[in-house]
Every structure is written in C-alpha cells, then in structure tokens.
Amino acid sequence: MKLHKLMKFSSFFLLLCVVAAPLQALAQEEKAFAEHKFVLQISDMDPAKQTLVLNVANNILKAYGADQVEVEIVAFSAGLRLLFEENANAGRIDGLVQNGVRFFACQNTVNNMSNILGTPVKVNNHAKSGYGGIVRIKELVDQGYMLAKP
C-alpha cells in the first residue's frame, strides 16, 4: 500500500515539474519587459551624426541594461545612408543588433534613392523596412517610446 502512495506522489511531483517549467520560462520572459523605450531618428547624411546616433544607442544600453530597454533607430531621408549595406558602421550595427537594438529603413526613401541613383539601394540586412520613417516614429511614440534626434 505504501508503494502505491509513493507512486502517486511521484506521479504528482513529475506532473508538477512539467507544469512548472513553462511557467518559470514565462516568468523569465516577463522579467525581460523593457521599462524604457527610445526611438532614435537619423535623417542626416553627415557621418558624424550617424556615429552620434549609434553612440547614443550604445549609451542607452549601458545606462539601463539591454534587458530593460528597447531602442529602435529609424533612418529616413539622407539618414538612410547609415543603413546602406556598405556603410562603414556596419560592424557597429551588428554589435548593437546583438544587444537588442532594432533598425528601420524608410521604404519611401529607399525607393526614391534607388530612382535617383539609378540602381537599387541595398540596405543592411538587419534593417526592417516599411512605408515611411516618420510613420514608424509616430507608431512608436504612440506606444510610449521617447523620440530623440541626436
């Protein structure tokens, strides 16, 4: 009889472990919720401004920790050059992406620059794109992101 009770307890304990593991994973995901949200605008062609926006993103990560902050850099107009595939900052962009920074390329600007240059603009593979950079900024601001234009 004691063996039967022990088997029931063992089965219950096993079931508890199976249920608790996903709950623990969910709790860890919730801990990673970003308390601070920033959208950084880059719309200038100046290489110094491009470096500055990347520095600001890096400084935000250092100040709050990658697990407590969301940062998205939105590039449009002449600032799209930051996200050109061959941009000198591609390595820094890779490093920021590894720490959770997102990049957004204005599709309107990509199309216009492609027409002006006479060849399709190749954008960094980490960058997502959408209709308009300013539209993306408004979406993020509406979601509680703070806009900064370094």
Confidence at residue 33, expressed as pLDDT on a 0 to 100 scale: 73
Confidence at residue 34, expressed as pLDDT on a 0 to 100 scale: 78
Cβ neighbours for 135, distance < 8 A, ≥ 6 positions apart = none
Confidence at residue 4, expressed as pLDDT on a 0 to 100 scale: 52
Q: Is 70 helix (H, G, I), strand (E, B) or coil?
A: strand
pLDDT in tens, 44-90: 999 999 999 999 999 999 999 999 999 999 999 999 999 999 999 99
Confidence at residue 2, expressed as pLDDT on a 0 to 100 scale: 55
For the cut 60, the answer to whether the pLDDT of residue 10 exceeds it is no
Token code pair at residue 57: 């993103």
Nearest to 140 by CA among 74, 60, 95, 90: 74
Q: Tell me what the pLDDT averaged over the chain comes to.
A: 84
β-strand pairing of 127-130 with 102-106? parallel
Distances (CA, A) of 14 to 10, 20, 25, 87: 6, 10, 17, 54
Query: Is 0.75 topped by the overall pTM?
Result: yes
What is the C-alpha to C-alpha distance for residues 84 and 123, in angstroms, rounded to an integer? Answer: 5
